[in-house]
Structure 1
Amino acid sequence: MQVTVEATGELERRLTITLPGSDFESKVQERLRSMVPRIKMDGFRPGKVPYKVVERRYGSAVRQEVSDEFVRDSFRDAIKQESLRPAGMPQIEPPQLEAGESFAYTVTFEVLPEIESVKLEGIKIKQPRAEVTDKDIEGVLKKLQEQHIEWEPMERPAQEADGVTITYHGSIEGKPFPGGSKENFFVILGKGTTLKEFEEHLIGVNKGQELTFEITFPEHYGNQELAGKKASFAVKVISVTAPRLPEINEDFAEKLGIKEGGVEALRQEIKISMTRNLEQAVRDRVREQIMDGLLVANPTNLPISLVKEETSILLEQAKNNLAKQGVNPQEISLDESPFVEQARRRVALRLIFSTILEKQEIKADQDKIKQRVTELAASYEDPEEFSRWIFSDRERLSEIESAVMETQIIDWVLDHVEILDESMSFEEVVNPQISPAKEKVQG
């Protein structure tokens, strides 16, 4: 086998692979002769069909079959011989199968970039240091109270923060419009869930009252068909209710699933949950810093084919998410461009992580895999059954292994970079502000 390699781009390679034509022809004839005893054809006894007849009938298909095998096997041997690592699917220019000629074909593909070593210079990690305080617990209790507000009927006029149930019918120039009518619509005054001008007309209303008023939709209203238009509404007030926060007592704790221990047990459950959330949030913040740092310290050209493949995956995920929300993806034109930078980031990180795994000879720690499965199983009614379900499927288990190896990579990086403690509150860690745009990935 003769192989020539041509660099046609930064990462693109063009291979010309040549094999003796006699080897190909011999294999074709061997395959055809092996078929003779099994061929049944009208006018001939079974197994007695002449070779020439078999060749005439099946020669073209057999030549294509053998050609595919030669290409597959020789390409595999060629990239091994030349120490090439293809990225994505190769583009094969099929050989011209002329009798007596050499079996030659060309393949064009991108190779994975060579990363000699992963650089860590300049990477500094801010490690959040925070704890769950009594004040944090009180804040969660307050939110739980608000989530379980009870609404008491009022005979007085509606005021700010009240809940008003109404039936309304809207029209524009005397004609109803889509979404302009609702039965038994509940609105909390001052929450901003409806247009401010609409809510202002409900301040001071009483149960059973009927009223009509006009509002003008904002120029930048979400529904462009209504933007800037004046609408008339006929409203009937069904009820006026005032919010009442439930007392934090044993009954409240039981309503939240605490069978024994009352309020103190509820506080302990909240603290355990918050501590778990805090630990995860710290890991997530450290992980993001490490990934950002690795990308900045290790710029590299990326195979276009891998970026396109990853972009397609992200686009498909977006379509699936729309479908889960009840949106028909076929009716929405999604552009790939918003997903390209995220795809580049993921491809770059995958290459960097692969290099770390290879150079540092990191293997998935089996004890950590079992520990991770145990942690996941703890939230299920039958942890043992969940664990068996994970270990019984190679694909599911490989997802756990990948997560564990990523954690091992993060731990290795942390052992080799500067870590700065950063004092933060619980809220600052678990509810971070929107982070600035990620560094663009070179290549």
Structure 2
Amino acid sequence: MQVSIETTSGLERRMTVGIPAEQVETEVEKRLQQAAKTIRMNGFRKGKVPVKVVKQQYGAGVRQEVLGEVMSRSFYEAVQKEDVKPAGQPSIEPKEMAEGKDIEFVATFEVYPEVSLGDFAGFEITKLNAEVNDADVDTMVETLQKQQATYEEVDAAAADGNQVNIDYVGTKDGEEFAGGKAEGQNLVLGSNSMIPGFEDGIVGLKAGEEKTLALSFPEDYHAEELKGAAVEFNVKVNTVSEQKLPELNDEFFAKFGVEDGGEAKFREDVKANMERELKNAAKSKLKNQVMDALIGAHELDLPKALIAGEVEALRGQMMQQFGGQMPEGMDMTSLLPDEMFTEQAERRVSLGLIVGEIVKASDLKVDADRVRGMVEEMASTYQDPEEVVNYYYNNREMLASVESVVLEDQVVDHVLEAAKVTEQDSTYEEVIKPAQEAE
């Protein structure tokens, strides 16, 4: 086998591979002889069909099959010989495929970039410290009550926190627009589920009253024709209802799995869940800082094939969130174009390459004890933790996903050992707040 390789641009490589004709023709002849022993053809007994006849009937198809297999096998033998690491599948272009002649094909593919690790000592990381106090638990209990709240009609002006039942019609330049009309819609004032100014405009109205609201859609509104548009909404209030919180009693506690122990046990469970949430949020924010620092310290040329693969994975995840339903007449790419996921895909590919190099350079191995601890922690939230632990350890794919997370955590710890870490006192609310809101 003859191999030559050249760099066309960046990470792209063009490999020309030559295969002796004998290698292909010998394999074709072997398969035709095997076929002759089992094939059925009119005029011949089974196993007695001459190879020449079999070749006339099936030779072209068998040869095509052999060519595909030989080119695929030869490609991977060639990349091993040349010590290159393809990123994604190659594009293979046949050059010489004629029977009796040496085979030649050209494979175009991308390779993984070289990752030169930077100095982690220059990383400045802030570690947030916080505890769950009684006031935090009080706030959470009230939140849980609100989730189970009911509403009772009142003869009063609508106030923030009330639920109103409304009819409304939206117009733009005097004409109704799509999606701007509803009847009998319930709306909790202060929920910010409508465009800015809509809910504020209803405050003070009583059942039976109407009002016209002059508003503007946000500049980043999802519907192109309504971005920044000046509109009017004619709103009629049908009913005003006040929120009624459920009592803290055994019936309420049972909804959250607390059958015995009353309010003390309920608050204990709530606090335990909050502490678990706090721990995970603090860990996540610390990890994100490390990952951001790694991205900032390493500028990589990324293989397009890997980015495309991540885009597809992200698109698939979003489709699952939508229940996998596709509007009639649309394909997934039209509904969710690549541009929606490109930035996130590039980040994931970059981090994958950098983290992989750190694992290799530092010879990190998955810590089995940490894997066990993570599995047991996840299992602790289920009714039968031992059953969940056994499920993970009997499912290689599930366990591998945990091992991957643990190894990534070990990389974070490795970076933090060299980085400058500043500890900062914080609160439960600040730590669990998503990064975008915190900014």
CA distance in structure 1 between the aligned counterparts of 2:175 and 2:123, rounded to whole angstroms: 66
CA contact (8 A) 1:171 1:231 kept: yes
Q: Scaled by the length of structure 2, what TM-score is found?
A: 0.83
The aligned residue for residue 374 of structure 1 is: 376
CA distance in structure 1 between the aligned counterparts of 2:314 and 2:406, rounded to whole angstroms: 23
CA distance in structure 2 between the aligned counterparts of 1:258 and 1:5, rounded to whole angstroms: 67
CA contact (8 A) 2:3 2:78 kept: yes
The equivalences for 1:27-42 within 5 A come to: 27-42=27-42
Deviation per CA, 1:195-253: give whole Å up to 9, x if none.
Answer: 867876773647xxx45x4514524387868x75666566554xx55455566677865
The aligned residue for residue 182 of structure 1 is: 183
The equivalences for 1:21-170 within 5 A come to: 21-117=21-117, 119-149=119-149, 151=151, 154=154, 157-158=156-157, 160-161=159-160, 163=162, 166=165, 168=167
The aligned residue for residue 441 of structure 1 is: none
CA contact (8 A) 2:205 2:237 kept: no
Q: Displacement of 1:186 after TM fit?
A: 4.5
CA distance in structure 2 between the aligned counterparts of 1:177 and 1:338, rounded to whole angstroms: 25
Q: Please say if 1:218 is aligned against 2:220.
A: no
Query: Which amino acid counterpart does residue 431 of structure 2 have in structure 1?
Result: V
The equivalences for 1:350-389 within 5 A come to: 350-389=352-391
Seen in structure 2, the aligned counterparts of structure 1 residues 177 and 328 have a Cα distance that, compared at 3 Å, is closer
Query: Which amino acid counterpart does residue 158 of structure 1 have in structure 2?
Result: A
Q: Scaled by the length of structure 1, what TM-score is found?
A: 0.82
**Backbone CA RMSD of aligned residues:** 3.6
The aligned residue for residue 428 of structure 2 is: 426
Seen in structure 2, the aligned counterparts of structure 1 residues 423 and 62 have a Cα distance that, compared at 3 Å, is same
Rg (Cα) greater in structure: 1
CA distance in structure 1 between the aligned counterparts of 2:213 and 2:168, rounded to whole angstroms: 15
Ranges in structure 2 where 5+ consecutive residues have no aligned partner? none
The aligned residue for residue 391 of structure 1 is: 393
Query: Number of residue pairs matched?
Result: 429
The aligned residue for residue 295 of structure 1 is: 295
Q: Displacement of 1:181 after TM fit?
A: 5.0
CA distance in structure 1 between the aligned counterparts of 2:364 and 2:75, rounded to whole angstroms: 30
CA contact (8 A) 1:119 1:298 kept: no
The aligned residue for residue 203 of structure 1 is: 204
CA contact (8 A) 2:248 2:263 kept: yes
Deviates more, 1:352-361 or 1:274-283: 352-361
Query: Which amino acid counterpart does residue 319 of structure 1 have in structure 2?
Result: M
CA distance in structure 2 between the aligned counterparts of 1:415 and 1:147, rounded to whole angstroms: 43
CA distance in structure 2 between the aligned counterparts of 1:19 and 1:99, rounded to whole angstroms: 12
The aligned residue for residue 314 of structure 1 is: 314
Query: Which amino acid counterpart does residue 294 of structure 1 have in structure 2?
Result: L
Seen in structure 2, the aligned counterparts of structure 1 residues 165 and 68 have a Cα distance that, compared at 3 Å, is closer
Partner-residue secondary structure (3-state), 1:92:
strand
Query: Which amino acid counterpart does residue 39 of structure 1 have in structure 2?
Result: I
CA distance in structure 2 between the aligned counterparts of 1:61 and 1:49, rounded to whole angstroms: 17
CA distance in structure 1 between the aligned counterparts of 2:178 and 2:309, rounded to whole angstroms: 44
Seen in structure 2, the aligned counterparts of structure 1 residues 151 and 13 have a Cα distance that, compared at 3 Å, is closer
Deviation per CA, 1:321-378: give whole Å up to 9, x if none.
Answer: 3346997793863322232111111001111111122222222222322222222111
